[in-house]
Every structure is written in C-alpha cells, then in structure tokens.
Structure 1
C-alpha cells in the first residue's frame, strides 16, 4: 500500500469514527404534551407549536423529538399508546419535557379531562417511568392563554399548574414554570402587544378565509419566544442540556 492510499484510508476511517461518535453522543430531547407544543400541518399555518422552534437553539449533540399532539392530556396521551414507543426507545441521558394541563382541565370530556388527583398520579407515572430508563424528566407547567380582562391577565388553568409544581417538588424533578414565565411575558407586552404571540390572522388568509382569533395557540413569533423561555429555564436549572445550546 503506497503512502497516498494509506493516508486516504486513514482519513476515511477517521470520518466514519467521528460520525459514529456523534451518533453515540447524541442526546434525544423528547417533548410530550398538547397542541401548544405540537408540530403543525401546513394547513394550520401560521399556527406554530413551541416544540417546532426548540431544535434551532441546540447544536447537533441534541436531537429534539417532538411527540406532543393537539388535544392530548396526561390521560389520552397514554391511552392512545403515544407514550409506549417513547418509553421503549428512551436511553440513559435522554430528556423528556412533560407539559400538560390545557386539556386535562376539560373534565366535561371524560376521554381527556382528569381530576386534580388523577393528574398528579399521571404526572408521577411519567416521571417514574422516565427515570426507570435512566432518562431525565423535566416538568413544565402549561403556558398562559392570552386572557386579559380590563387590562389584567387572568389565569385559566385552575389548580393544574399547582399540581405540577407539587409533583416536581416532592419527587425532586427539574421544573420549568412556563405559566409564570409566559404570564410575565404577556403582562409585560400588555393586552394589545401580546396579540402578535398568538394565532390572530385577518380574513382572506389561505388557511383561514374567515380569519382567526385564537388566544391559546401560538404564532411563529410566539412559538420562538416561548421556546426561548424554555431554553432560559434549562440554563437556570443548569441541566447538562445547556452545554449543547448554540
């Protein structure tokens, strides 16, 4: 084997090994939750889930796998077997962002809504099962709806965020209090200023001919800002994930 051939072969081996190392080191960051985080179909644009924006904050060491879905709760996400394939593929060092509440509170819908007591049980199960695979659960309270009354932002989530906080405290789970963070963001922007964060489109839009005023779901701008708040929370918690931020 001549020197040139030997050098080319060595270079090829290095490339293969470096690629293998990258795959081996890559951490998967799963998102489980509802429509506020979910990936959206083109027909729903400009509706955007915050989970769609999260990958842009990380380098190649982290792969965001967004499994959040419209209309799901802690109950229905499991009942529809959405959780099982995630659990089966979890590996040590992976993360699971767990954000529910928007639909759990709909107790008039028995396939989705759950009592506060059952909400607690469900969150505890997600946490314990994640930890059983040596992966790291992170609890998130639900984001705020844009619900101003006489210029004052009001809470619409009842006792559900409090349950999430209590589970995080009792089980020593990292918590990103997204309700608190988004309430501050919306309050700082005000009633009119916060419109840009949500799905407000004028009539004549290709996907919304009659227009749309939705104060629960996010616009691309809102999704980016909410994802940024989650990243801020990751830094504040000093999670290892923070080392892979751009």
Structure 2
C-alpha cells in the first residue's frame, strides 16, 4: 500500500512539473513587440505626468495580451543617434529574440544641433552615407555623427540579424493649428523614413500622413483638444490614443506582416 501511495505521489509530482514546464515554455514562446522612439511614443515614465502622453502607452491595449507582449522602451528627448550612442538600443537589442517585432519612430529630435551644450543629439539631415566628426560637449569627447537614415539602417540591420521584424513609422505630426486654422505641413523626416524602409525592404507605417488626414477632416478647435497647451509637440491622453489607433490602422494594411494577427 505504501509503495502504491509513493508511486501515486511521484506520478502527481511528475505531472505537475510537466504541466508547469509547458506553461513556462508557452510564456517564453510568446513574441514581444518592442517600441523604440522619443517622447511622442513614451513621455516621461509613460504614466501621464503633466498630462503628456505618448501613443506607446496605449497601443498595448489594442493587442491581445494572451498572444504577445508589448514593451515600450521609448525615451523622451532621444534622437535616432542618442538612442544608440547612449546605450539604450544595446539594452533593448539584448532582449530581442527571433520572432519578435521592433517598431521604431524617430525624427522629432534629429533636427536638433549636432554639438550644442544642451543636448548634442542632432543627426545630419537626409539618408546618405556622409558623416561628420564633432566634439560632444556633453560627453566631453570626439564623436562621429551620421545621417538620420544611417541610424535607421543600423536599427534595421541589428533587428534583422536577430531574426526579428523591423517596422518603421514616420514621426507623428506636431500640432498643426495656427491662428485657428489647421495648417498641414510636409515633414522631411517622414519622407526619409519611408525611403529607408523601402530601400531596406522592411514594412513602413505612414503614421505622419495617416494622422494628418484625420486632422484635415476636423476643425481647428477639435484638433487642439488632442494636444497640451505646454508646447506644440506633445499630445494629451486623447491625442495619444488617436495616434495609437492610427498606428494600428497602418499596421492592418501590412498584409504580409504577422504582427497584425496579434491585434484584438
């Protein structure tokens, strides 16, 4: 009898270990969508401090959490250059595995000066191969700075090497309301992002244009409700949710991209 009970106990323990292992494996097999970008993707800690929100704080609500993780690793104030040169990209890349997705959106801060004493975060305009050696007054050392397109290509190359899928988004538009009118302007970085994505044969979401089309169909008074009064760049919660929905709208048009299968 004791032998039978012992056998039963061992059988139950073994079954429990196998069941637990299956749960762990299932959890590990679930892919991750990593978001990288600036404050328009994640402002501050992503909790709405100062009523400022990035779209990355809400896009996770549009995905099925049972099938995919969404990790917002964007950081306010960064450019495509400083996200790499300050080690942020290395930290994210270390977590990326085969089958994951990395969605990027940079551009707002790339137009800043290359070597000012405030941020030293700018990139050379365009998507070419040119570079410039500068003295970085923040880091107090020499640094070679490349074009916006060069840094995007570096992200894409690293992602492909990991067996993951890169998705490039054009930067969201700034507040287009001027003198009580919606004035929609072209964004050079939106065009450059599209060119890089096409050349590197990765998926592209024309986020800038999708959102501008929505603004263009609304009154100036309505568009103003999407932004904070603190500056002309950052959205409030309503605006960030609109931008998140616009990302998904663009994603659904990428029929060959497996990421849209994980949407709710």
TM-score bracket for the superposition, by shorter chain length:
0.7 to 0.9
**When you count helix as a share of all residues, which structure comes out higher?**
1
Whole-Å Cα distance in 2 between the matches of residues 155 and 108 of structure 1? 24
Q: Which of these two proteins has the greater Rg computed from alpha carbons?
A: 2
Whole-Å Cα distance in 2 between the matches of residues 109 and 44 of structure 1? 29
User: 2:109 is paired with a residue of what secondary structure?
Assistant: coil
- 2:189 is matched with 160
Deviation string, structure 1 residues 7-43 (Cα, Å, up to 9, x no partner)? 9657735641442232122111111110000153457
User: 1:85 is paired with a residue of what secondary structure?
Assistant: helix
Whole-Å Cα distance in 2 between the matches of residues 58 and 43 of structure 1? 21
Deviation string, structure 1 residues 36-76 (Cα, Å, up to 9, x no partner)? 00153457242111111111111222111111111110111
Stretches of structure 1 that go unaligned for 5 or more consecutive residues are: 200-211
Q: Tell me whether 1:142 sits opposite 2:171 in the alignment.
A: yes
Match of 2:243 among 215, 226, 235: 226
Q: CA deviation at 1:153?
A: 2.1
Contact 1:147 1:156 in 2 (8 A): no
- 1:54 is matched with 59
More off after superposition, 173-182 vs 212-221: 212-221
Contact 1:116 1:163 in 2 (8 A): no
Q: Tell me whether 1:125 sits opposite 2:129 in the alignment.
A: no
Whole-Å Cα distance in 2 between the matches of residues 133 and 216 of structure 1? 33
State how many pairs are aligned: 233
Whole-Å Cα distance in 2 between the matches of residues 242 and 7 of structure 1? 42
Contact 1:146 1:153 in 2 (8 A): no
- 1:80 is matched with 86
User: 2:233 is paired with a residue of what secondary structure?
Assistant: strand
Whole-Å Cα distance in 2 between the matches of residues 7 and 231 of structure 1? 47
| Aligned pairs (5 A) from 1:190-229 | 190-199=219-228, 212-229=229-246
Contact 2:53 2:234 in 1 (8 A): yes
Match of 2:29 among 25, 28, 32: 25
Q: CA deviation at 1:220?
A: 1.2
Q: CA deviation at 1:227?
A: 0.9
User: 1:98 is paired with a residue of what secondary structure?
Assistant: strand
Whole-Å Cα distance in 2 between the matches of residues 190 and 56 of structure 1? 28
Provide TM-score, normalisation by structure 1.
0.85
Whole-Å Cα distance in 2 between the matches of residues 25 and 90 of structure 1? 13
Contact 2:79 2:110 in 1 (8 A): yes
